[in-house]
């Protein structure tokens, strides 16, 4: 879910999404971010998607 920067509406379904490795912590554990591309108001914007709980 991401907010459209133009109208402020929340768009729930990304057009495209992919996983990206985040910066590893000092402990050596790396994080994984899910990035999504959303379309609304004839514009597209990126947002980091929250981790899905198993
Ligand atoms: Zn919009």
Per-domain residue ranges of the chain: 2-49
Q: Ligand 1: distance of its center to the CA of 43 in Å?
A: 8
Say what the pTM is. Answer: 0.73
pLDDT (tens digit per residue) in 19-54:
988 777 677 777 788 899 999 999 999 999 877 656
Task: Report the candidate in 16, 51, 21, 20 with the shortest Cα–Cα distance to residue 37.
Answer: 16
Q: Ligand 1: distance of its center to the CA of 3 in Å?
A: 8
Please, are residues 44 and 15 in contact by the beta-carbon 8 Å criterion?
yes
pLDDT (tens digit per residue) in 3-21:
999 999 999 999 999 998 8
Q: Ligand 1: distance of its center to the CA of 7 in Å?
A: 4
């Amino acid at each position: 879910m991401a907010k459209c920067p133009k109208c402020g509406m929340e768009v729930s379904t990304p057009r495209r999404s992919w996983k990206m490795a985040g910066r590893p912590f000092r402990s050596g554990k790396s994080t994984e971010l899910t990035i999504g591309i959303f379309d609304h108001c004839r514009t597209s914007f990126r947002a980091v998607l929250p981790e899905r709980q198993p």
